[in-house]
Amino acid sequence: MATSQSEVEKLVHREYKHGFVTDIEQETLPPGLDEGVIRTISAFKGEPEFMREWRLSAFRHWQTMSEPSWAHVSYPPLDFQSISYYSAPKTREQIEAEAPKSLDEVDPKLLETYDKLGIPLHERARLAGVAVDAVFDSVSVATTYKDKLSEHGIIFCSFSEAVREHPELVRKYLGTVVPPGDNFYASLNSAVFSDGSFVFVPKGVRCPMELSTYFRINASNTGQFERTLIVAEEGAYVSYLEGCTAPMRDENQLHAAVVELVALEGAEIKYSTVQNWYPGDEEGRGGIYNFVTKRGECRGDNSKIAWTQVEAGSAITWKYPSCVLKGDNSVGEFYSVAVGNNCQQIDSGTKMIHIGRNTRSTIISKGISAGRANNAYRGLVKVLPTAKGARNYTQCDSLLMGDQCGAHTYPYIEVREPSAQVEHEATTSKIGDDQIFYLLQRGLSEEDAVNMIVSGFCKEVFSELPMEFAVEAQALLAVTLEGAVG
């Protein structure tokens, strides 16, 4: 390689851009988890009884489960009793009970935080036409553009508010895609989830703007367990964006979210994520454990769910945004860029479960490994005997930068229907020194040359992101890989 190892190491040094701690008062439950804690969370939030019972039954189930160990990641055992399961920024006395009515009520320091993060929360948000729900640690702080959305009958609010204001909808859909006993972390989330976003787009409505949530973990020793539920009724359309950051801390913090999507007949949901949780320092100290369950169900015929993700942060990422293709002719898509540097570990991919006839799925996964990172794609394509004419196409490419990283591909293909066509292709390669030299010879700097090659490698995924996010994702990639030329 053109650049020496020492140069690589020098260049790899970079600082996490979002690693500041916001100094505001926190109201946090002491660490520990038992039924009492769950009742307290539920009481804090003024939840109806069904919700409390739902949490408790999930908790009882969780106690019988053990942590999964099959992923290609390693970390010291987690002590679930040393985590605090609820933390709310205390900006107004009743903040736990009621989110601020307008941005003016929000603590200016919090807004400053969002400014630093580059979140288009106020005017910029309005100009950009993005409605934002911001979840700070455990509590949803503000939702912009709510009124305009409600004119269309669209509900976009924090999960807590949905439980209070629209209990019938929550009750109807919650846990129907990811049941409370689905897996270890999903069960934990079901028991202790604190807040998140709720979206409901009624029949025939095309949501006129992108909806967006920003998640940020601030308090130390807290876990963040948000819950997102998006329902698109018959013929509805919604595009939802999720962004995540966290401050720099020495100790690892747990993030175990659950996202459920329900698409009824002819509905379409586009869910995009730019994940930039704190990845830990270059020695692998600190960073977020991102153990997330995301699943969408194409419940009706001709429905479509598309996941697009750019995974750049977290010490460990363990997530498989999935599509259950129940409706005939339904479509599942998964576009992913996962980039790991330093000591990051990623085990991510998707599951496409073909149940309905003529269901189609596409998986495009791009993994980039630099430093000492390990990046694994794990994906399941399952075609059940009912899925006549099902089609899947999977393309899975890995790019290696430096000789201390690893790139792994674990596809699972299970086909029980002869008329199905399943195709999987994967390649692993490195950035060629002749490619870099070619670009240098055209006058580009080495950084730009690498960025250009990496963006080229990822372009099929970036083109799926909404414009604003695509720009952010490109920039994020450039920062993450700063100088990781190997």
Interface residues with another protein (CB under 8 A) are 2, 70, 383, 385, 398, 400-430, 432-435, 437-446, 448, 452-453, 455-460, 486
Please state the closest distance from residue 295 (CB atom) to another protein, in A.
21
Q: 78 or 426: whose CB is closer to another protein?
A: 426
Please state the closest distance from residue 336 (CB atom) to another protein, in A.
16
* Angle separating helix axes 35-44 and 184-192, nearest 10 degrees: 50
Please state the closest distance from residue 396 (CB atom) to another protein, in A.
9
Please state the closest distance from residue 270 (CB atom) to another protein, in A.
23
Q: Which amino acid is at 92?
A: R
* Burial status of residue 234 (CB atoms within 10 A of its CB: 0-12, 13-18, 19 or more): middle
Please state the closest distance from residue 354 (CB atom) to another protein, in A.
12
Q: 203 or 424: whose CB is closer to another protein?
A: 424
Please state the closest distance from residue 471 (CB atom) to another protein, in A.
15
Q: 239 or 374: whose CB is closer to another protein?
A: 374
Q: 116 or 416: whose CB is closer to another protein?
A: 416
Q: 155 or 338: whose CB is closer to another protein?
A: 338
Which residues, at least 6 apart from 467, have a Cβ–Cβ distance to it below 8 Å?
A: none
Please state the closest distance from residue 477 (CB atom) to another protein, in A.
13
Query: Of 376, 347, 240, 451, nearest to 459 (Cα)?
Result: 451
Q: 50 or 412: whose CB is closer to another protein?
A: 412
Q: 112 or 448: whose CB is closer to another protein?
A: 448
Q: 23 or 442: whose CB is closer to another protein?
A: 442
Please state the closest distance from residue 486 (CB atom) to another protein, in A.
6
Query: Of 253, 157, 262, 241, nearest to 199 (Cα)?
Result: 157
Q: 248 or 415: whose CB is closer to another protein?
A: 415
Please state the closest distance from residue 393 (CB atom) to another protein, in A.
10
